[in-house]
Amino acid sequence: MDIQLLSYLFVGVTFALYIGIAVWSRAGSTNEFYVAGGGVPAVANGMATAADWMSAASFISMAGIISFLGYDGSVYLMGWTGGYVLLALCLAPYLRKFGKFTVPDFIGDRYYSQAARVIAVICAIFVSFTYVAGQMRGVGVVFSRFLEVGVSTGVVIGMVIVFFYAVLGGMKGITYTQVAQYCVMIFAYIVPAIFISLLMTGNVFPQLGFGGSVGDGTPLLQKLDGLSTELGFAQYTEGSKPMIDVFFITAALMVGTAGLPHVIVRFFTVPNVRDARRSAGWALVFIAILYTTAPAVAAFARVNMINTINGENMQGTLYEDAPSWIKNWETTGLIGWQDKNGDGRMFYAADERNEMTIDRDIMVLANPEIAQLPNWVVALVAAGGMAAALSTAAGLLLVISTSISHDLLKRNLMPNITDKQELLFARMAAAVAVVVAGYLGINPPGFVAQVVAFAFGLAASSFFPAIILGIFHKKMNKEGALSGMVVGITFTAAYIIYFKFINPGANVADNWLFGISPEGIGTLGMILNFAVAFGVHKLTGDAPDNVQDIVESIRFPKGSGAASSH
């Protein structure tokens, strides 16, 4: 079978599986819609959390950005992995003990303020829409190549699928769908990595192949360093980013992960705090399988890509002899060739010799084709990419709908609505969110990993300080927390918008504040948030005694009942 037919088959079967699970696990109450009834087993929740957290940025874009940037791209690997550990150890058990299943719910009750709840809702929606733009972009990239439709058409198809199982099944449907999506995703990521590792280094484990040698006995990373310098790039194993920017991006991704509302809510789908801790541990195991493989995939793809474009002798490959993967991806507009010197040969480099434009988001998806693996492996990766993008998109859309129906309407504007009405509003909000997410996927503000990095920065500058202070600083009052959130997210959003949209031409290190890129500015926003929160707190007094007593009680997570919506 050819790649397109196999792709239709693999993607069609997995979509049928996801929709079947959504129908089987249809939510019948707000408790099932928001937190899957609080009865998900720890292992299943760990798998669903891993799928929810490992988005299109992890599956599609992370290895691509490492492949192109080498050492500089490792900030994404370090930041996202470290962030999950921070979330699992420092936040999840305490939030589960508090018993509120949304971040705005926690902030509204902890800071005894409806204004705090509304600001948290706005932040949650803003962060989630920024994040979901990257996921829908990933959907479009996958469809554009493997189903041979336009990126926009691919996004619309993805919207329909997500709408069906997110709106129908709620968190209950999403949870069990994500278990299936994790299985598809990890199988699709590991299988081609093993194939390529065996072909290039003789190691069955890609992680070992990454440190091994290629066919001529040269260590893989040494070969990459040599190719990179020969073509005008920085050495693959040495970074070009200023160390302050590396630190700030890594920190923003770490604390942003710990403040992501769609990940935090997963710890309310298990019966108690003990299971929340266990599911966090399982999720870390499931995440590590992909994250330890990604650097190897990036390195393999880089070597193979350069060799197939420039040829083994680095003289360039005749365009008429170009391998099929270049012609296939060229039709999507994600690869381009301009014959600058008129010799009919393609050449990829960092200087004036370069004739290729290559979208870094294609690297994982194109990797099996570049390595000339069987067609079924190529189709499997397409199904995995769809699973990665759709699993996180569904979780984010649920956060948006929950923030509107539960936190804004039920807990604020319309407290007397019934459970049935609240469920209807939640589904209506999810439907609107799908449409907005689709628009952002068709018109994304950057490549997938970059867009997701912005979302993490926004979460870092808004939610993380409020949550940490809410748990570990019992005297922190509403005035301090509110002021910090507003200042943090406003500063971060303004910085990103200026350098990415208003004046993108100024987006160079010389113009950045302290040399910090828009991807890392969330860390500075977080520092401002903390500083403002502490300063305002000092001027306005401590939180009430009853709030301090509640905070004291959640510091010892030795058990908890079901998550409460009241």
- Residue matched to tokens 């890594």: 250
Can you tell me whether residue 453 is helix, strand or coil? Answer: helix
What is the distance between the alpha carbons of residues 488 and 467, in angstroms, rounded to a whole number?
Answer: 14
Q: Is the pLDDT of residue 564 over 70?
A: no
- All domains of the chain in start order, with CATH: 3-301+373-554 (1.20.1730.10)
Among 228-242, 328-342, 436-450, which is the least confidently predicted range? 436-450
Backbone angles phi, psi at 335, to 5 degrees: -135, 140
What distance separates the 2 farthest-apart alpha carbons in the chain?
78
pLDDT tens string 371-403: 888 888 888 888 887 777 676 677 677 777 777
Among 165-174, 242-251, 272-281, which is the least confidently predicted range? 165-174
What is the distance between the alpha carbons of residues 442 and 446, in angstroms, rounded to a whole number?
Answer: 11
pLDDT tens string 330-380: 877 788 888 888 888 899 888 888 888 888 878 888 888 888 888 888 888
R_g over Cα of the chain: 23
pLDDT tens string 84-96: 777 777 777 777 7
pLDDT tens string 483-520: 998 899 899 988 988 887 777 776 677 788 888 888 88
Say what percent of the chain tops pLDDT 90.
6
Q: What is the mean pLDDT of the chain?
A: 80
Q: Half-sphere exposure of 505 toward its Cβ, with a 13 Å CA cutoff?
A: 0
User: Quick one: DSSP state of residue 36?
Assistant: G
Q: Exposure string (b/e) for 467-489, b if CB count within 10 Å is 16 or more?
A: bbbbbebbebbbbbbbbbbbbbb
pTM score, two decimals? 0.78
Task: Identify the burial level of 561 via C-beta atoms within 10 angstroms of its C-beta, where 0-12 means exposed, 13-18 middle and 19 or more buried.
Answer: exposed
Average pLDDT over residues 132-143: 73
User: Quick one: DSSP state of residue 38?
Assistant: G
Residue 171 pLDDT class (50, 70, 90 cuts): low
Positive or negative CA dihedral for 192, 196, 199, 205? negative
143 or 50: which leads in pLDDT: 50
**Residues facing 317 on adjacent strands:** 346
The DSSP secondary structure of 458-478, one letter per residue, reads HHHHHHHHHHHHHHH-TT--H
**Residues facing 335 on adjacent strands:** 358
Kindly state the tokens that stand for 251: 């920190």
Among 315-319, 399-403, 532-536, which is the least confidently predicted range? 399-403
From 270, 291, 288, 287, select the one nearest 279 (Cα to Cα).
Answer: 270
The DSSP secondary structure of 264-325, one letter per residue, reads HGGGGSSSSHHHHHHHHHHHHHHHHHHHTTHHHHHHHHHHHHHHHHHTTTTS-EEGGG--HH
Positive or negative CA dihedral for 431, 437, 439, 442? negative
What is the distance between the alpha carbons of residues 29 and 406, in angstroms, rounded to a whole number?
Answer: 13
The kind and range of the H/E element at 337 are strand 335-337
Average pLDDT over residues 146-172: 72
177 or 321: which leads in pLDDT: 321
What is the distance between the alpha carbons of residues 420 and 397, in angstroms, rounded to a whole number?
Answer: 20
Helical residues (DSSP H) of 375-498, grouped into ranges: 375-402, 419-442, 448-472, 478-497
Amino acid 563: pLDDT? 47
Q: How many residues does the chain have?
A: 566
What is the distance between the alpha carbons of residues 266 and 405, in angstroms, rounded to a whole number?
Answer: 18
What is the distance between the alpha carbons of residues 135 and 449, in angstroms, rounded to a whole number?
Answer: 9
Average pLDDT over residues 31-43: 65
Can you tell me whether residue 165 is helix, strand or coil? Answer: helix
